[in-house]
Amino acid sequence: MKIQTADEVVVQTYMDLPSQPKLLLPAGSCDSHVHVFGPRARFPYAASRANTPAEAPKERLFALHKKVGIARCVIVQSVTHGTDNAVVEDAIDAGQGNYLGVALTQVDVADQELRRLARRGFRAVRFHFMKHISGGNDIDDVLKLTSRLADLEMHLQVHFESSLVHTVGQQLRRSAVPVVIDHMGRVDATKGENHEDFRALMGLLDHRGFYVKVSGIDRIESTARPGSGYPLGVQLAARLVERFPQQCVWGLDWPHPNHTHIPDDGELVDALSRIAPRAELLEALLVKNPQALYRF
């Protein structure tokens, strides 16, 4: 929903009242991919942003997690706030050890700033290779940074177009640190698990330095809408969890920016019963893997 104000168009990207999920999550469950936006009076939006999402402050995130049974979380800095990571730092502080972060930086970020971010609870730095997000990065420059991340026990998180799994994805094998791939590599779920992009994604995960976020079942199934259960996205996520049970983490991707529709977070939680249908898979996905990767 778009709200026209005197100065700009503000896009509402999340449900105020998502449904209550039926699935009871394991103790210590982690949502490994969300964002926070604002409040703008304290944390201004970046001038370079492509659009203006409605404020989605930490208090709303905490309330959502309490409702659905999430105890831990990794907040990913959004291009909405650019490389000023203060909004995530504030949420980390309020999370009292149960909330950590992934930062956005320039590829030539100073060592001093990287050390500061690591001390503040950031476990990774994220880079985009997406057409709809400005400020793309050269993969060779990103790879040079990874040796400095290694010194701080930080890892690399990447968000790329599905076709880039064959090029950027292969180059990422040179990373000096573990690599986490966002949203199942943004593959097209309508093309199925035998499509070359999904096969290439699984080929990367054959190397133990790679992890994947089985978030975005609602993004990669382009024709689906709330209430559908996102069966095609679930099918690919379940395939990854079954084949790579120690290399998958999950996230709601709240508050769902740059989307075709507004998902129901309760429905996304309930989809976990089909993504990780056995207790040991769900425990690994939501508890053990995030604990090992993010070091709560």
Residue 270: exposed, middle, or buried by beta-carbon count in 10 A (0-12, 13-18, 19+)? middle
Closest residue by Cα to residue 76 from 244, 259, 252: 252
Mean pLDDT to the nearest integer, 67-91: 97
Strand pairing class (9-11; 2-4): antiparallel
What predicted TM-score, i.e. pTM, was given to this entire model? 0.95
pLDDT band at 142 (very low <50, low <70, confident <90, very high): very high
Q: If one looks up domain 2-294 in CATH, what number appears?
A: 3.20.20.140
Q: Mean pLDDT, the chain, as a whole number?
A: 95
pLDDT of residue 287 exceeding 90:
yes
pLDDT of residue 110 exceeding 80:
yes
pLDDT of residue 197 exceeding 90:
yes
Closest residue by Cα to residue 277 from 230, 220, 235, 222: 235
Mean pLDDT to the nearest integer, 82-106: 97
What does the pLDDT read at residue 8? 80
Q: Report d(CA 191, CA 78) in Å as an integer.
A: 29
Residue 265 annotated among the catalytic residues of the structure: no
Closest residue by Cα to residue 40 from 76, 97, 75, 84: 84
Q: Report d(CA 31, CA 44) in Å as an integer.
A: 25
Domain boundaries, the chain: 2-294
* 205 contact partners, CB below 8 Å, separation of at least 6: 211, 212, 240, 243, 244, 247
pLDDT digits (tens, 9 = 90+) for 167-196: 999 999 999 999 999 999 999 999 999 999
Q: Which residue has the tokens 């994805």?
A: 169
pLDDT of residue 5 exceeding 60:
no
Helix (H) or strand (E) holding 64: helix 58-68
pLDDT band at 3 (very low <50, low <70, confident <90, very high): low
pLDDT of residue 50 exceeding 90:
no
Mean pLDDT to the nearest integer, 124-142: 80
What does the pLDDT read at residue 222? 82
Out of 182, 253, 264, 265, the active site residue is 253
What does the pLDDT read at residue 226? 87
Q: Report d(CA 271, CA 278) in Å as an integer.
A: 13
DSSP for 34-59, written as a single string: E--B--TTTSPPPTT-SSEEPPB-HH
pLDDT digits (tens, 9 = 90+) for 11-37: 999 999 999 999 999 999 999 999 999
